[in-house]
Chains A and B, each alone.
Chain A
């Protein structure tokens, strides 16, 4: 198929950036979206133009490295990651607009590459169980009901791609933060520190400049891992119980 691509080009963080239009042909339906961009980049390189920079690594929908705002939707039309999106989702002659994630807390590095280290700092603020290596009990010492373990898993499956932030008109990170808080609050191992954890992670989230949550649900609607909105409700519960209890951090 033949396509027209409108791609955001920006040399570096301080450059203003704008859209450039490229024509591309010979794209097959079996190609992934990123393979289509590979073809574009080979073309550009042949012409001596700087290739379009974008983040990617596993190309299997699990590392969370790929991003891209495609035709106004994070990761494009299907509820998958961009690397799992295939060109059979597009038609010959389509025009595709490709932008980076746009959020104050995710500054643009170059072209379509953004800096998501704010997510790492949020996890560093409390997204863990405080255990050292060694000296832990036998794995089967604490039975965990299967439904609880499964629910925790559903939250733990977040890949930190940032689509939730990109989808939200306020660029809120609530879905990401609440998924980690829920996973750990559900499991007995994580319960011990759950209150302090919620407070610390929310404080860090605010400090990073993410926006407020107004419950539009755009985040979970776009999440490639189908992280549920109920995580946000659970997080709010944890957070408010923490702030009214004496267990301040």
Chain B
């Protein structure tokens, strides 16, 4: 199958405008004859569901939390980018486009990224109109800050709770449509499968998490807005429930999965403290604006620190290595995430880590406090400092924070064309669930932008284009394909409950996480990846013969829910390893030890790997087939990324 990205022809700046003009429209009076399923109520899902309902379509919205407002998007802290150029510092749509392409290490599509930069400005207008309380200056206008690898101030924020405020905005729009009778909500409901009839997505099968009922929902189009799969690593900054199930089920029904190995490891997280740990906490990247990253210059001093023989403040200036500032004089502590993370790993691997586990570096606010005063620092980061103290028991005003990289975001996801449609007609993927805009590395404050761009401003047009060519008839929920999918889900529930083995679901999840982190994490190599593949296969077999899932299928059953998710993570893990193994280059979040410059930076191979990898599922136990979508760059020149 030849992948067609359907990028409109014509000059970059006119593609989206022309496309919007060329796509088919559904007559306003006929929109109510169509039913659309939106799975997920995060930024992407809530904005899409609300916008489609406003247009007149009938929408069913699903999430596994008890309320749509609790989707994982709520946890985003730092901010959202938009090319408003309110600061008059030289920003523009083209610059945001350029930064995103470069930041993604030239592994994303020009057409998609340009559109993202274009609609970014509308997002801010929309959110303000909804009553989102963004930060403001004394003059009453919106405030901006610079964020994660950008040299202009284009990030809009709401203290350290930007995701919360944006999601509550989208949730309020969604709630309004529920009141209007255009959206029907299904909280505490998990999508278990996509139903494909005559080659088109025609609905989903769900499990009611309270009663366990397996149900079918028919529709004209299905939008998956189900977030990322970082929890394959067990420990990540994602919410506990974040999972790959919806995307993975779709994959098994024919949707190609792209670039699964592109994982973002965020440099500023609270280090792991022990085996009991259930998740990792992000310390917003904005901290790098004022905090300085360092480790001791020598292993000897680091050892003394680890044994608590000396305190960080005792270490003299000349014994400190501000390694980011030295190595990257122009970006310093603000280098992109992949670069910052890799360097942290590097100094820790050298034996210069600063906590008991040897896996932590300092993020120090001493100089900012001396320069601006403690109150100013508290004003900017107070809530983050409190959170840090709450978790670690240490006071970051007095002693430097300790941070270490952690899994945070997945750039890979379901392959989609310019219309955000997967390889299954009628099945769309929005937000973190798709692979589209961030290439091999995402810039800070760009995921919120992409989720809302997809949901508010792209899908409402492109889904209409598809529906305009479809009859109003719905496939009845009694159709054999629905029945078959229901039976499969029921059989899987039964199977999981009947294994009655000796190990808990978490046992397997933790083991998988360790394999992924050690062999498919911040740095990978062929030998490790090959080993990981074997290990995952063995673990999968063990899971299906020895997992213990208690309770029944007809009640709220948290271990059963988790078992479904972990079973899918086990399969995804194998594909991630496969993808990482086949990509014989380093780019963005994918760093292969074998491919680096003499200075230790990622070494791309544009000649052989400037493509999107799209994997096709061919059946259980079979290797997946690789399809390639060549990336064409007409507006930027591919260069070695440099932040020196």
Contacts and interface: CB of A to CB of B under 8 A. Distances in A.
Interface stretch (B5-13, B94-102, B387-395): B387-395
Interface residues of A, number: 77
B425 to A, nearest CB: 25
Given A58-B74, A183-B131, A144 B136 contact: yes
Nearest to B68: A120
Contact of B276 (A28, A63, A143, A190): A28
A11, A45, A139: which has the most chain B beta carbons within 10 Å?
A139
A124 interface: yes
B47, B65, B67, B274: which has the most chain A beta carbons within 10 Å?
B67
B72 A58 contact: yes
B71 to A, nearest CB: 8
B129 interface: yes
A189 B278 contact: no
Ranked nearest first, the 5 interchain pairs of A and B with the lowest CB-CB distance are A143-B140, A128-B172, A136-B129, A153-B133, A133-B51
B54 interface: yes
Interface stretch (A80-88, A92-100, A231-239): A80-88
Contacts of B240: 56-59
A149 B128 contact: no
Interface stretch (A46-54, A205-213, A241-249): A46-54
B151 to A, nearest CB: 22
Contact of B279 (A59, A84, A132, A189): A59
Interface stretch (A16-24, A108-116, A169-177): A108-116
Interface in B66-123: 66-70, 72, 74-75, 84, 86, 122
Interface stretch (B308-316, B342-350, B364-372, B549-557): B549-557
B125 A136 contact: yes
Contact of A50 (B72, B172, B176, B550): B550
Given A146-B137, A157-B161, A123 B125 contact: no
B138 interface: yes
Contacts of A42: 504, 506
B135 interface: yes
A203 B235 CA distance: 44
Secondary structure at chain A's binding surface: helix, strand, loop or mixed? loop
21 contacts: A30-B274, A35-B278, A38-B278, A38-B506, A42-B504, A45-B550, A51-B550, A57-B65, A62-B163, A109-B210, A120-B187, A123-B69, A129-B129, A130-B176, A132-B54, A133-B456, A146-B138, A152-B133, A153-B133, A153-B158, A157-B164
| Size bracket of the B interface | 35 or more
A84 B134 CA distance: 25
Nearest to A189: B131
A25 to B, nearest CB: 13
A50 B557 CA distance: 9
Nearest to A128: B172
A120 B67 CA distance: 7
Contacts of B122: 134
B133 A123 contact: no
Contact of B140 (A29, A131, A146, A183): A146
Interface of A: 11-12, 28-32, 34-35, 38-39, 42, 45-46, 48-51, 53, 55-65, 80, 84, 86, 88, 109-110, 113, 115-117, 119-120, 123-134, 136-140, 142-146, 149-150, 152-153, 156-157, 159-160, 183-184, 187, 189-190
Contact of A143 (B74, B139, B504, B506): B139
A74 to B, nearest CB: 17
A138 B125 contact: yes
B165 A48 contact: no
Given A129-B129, A133-B173, A30 B136 contact: no
Contact of B239 (A38, A58, A86, A160): A58
A50, A113, A132: which has the most chain B beta carbons within 10 Å?
A132
Contacts of A88: 393
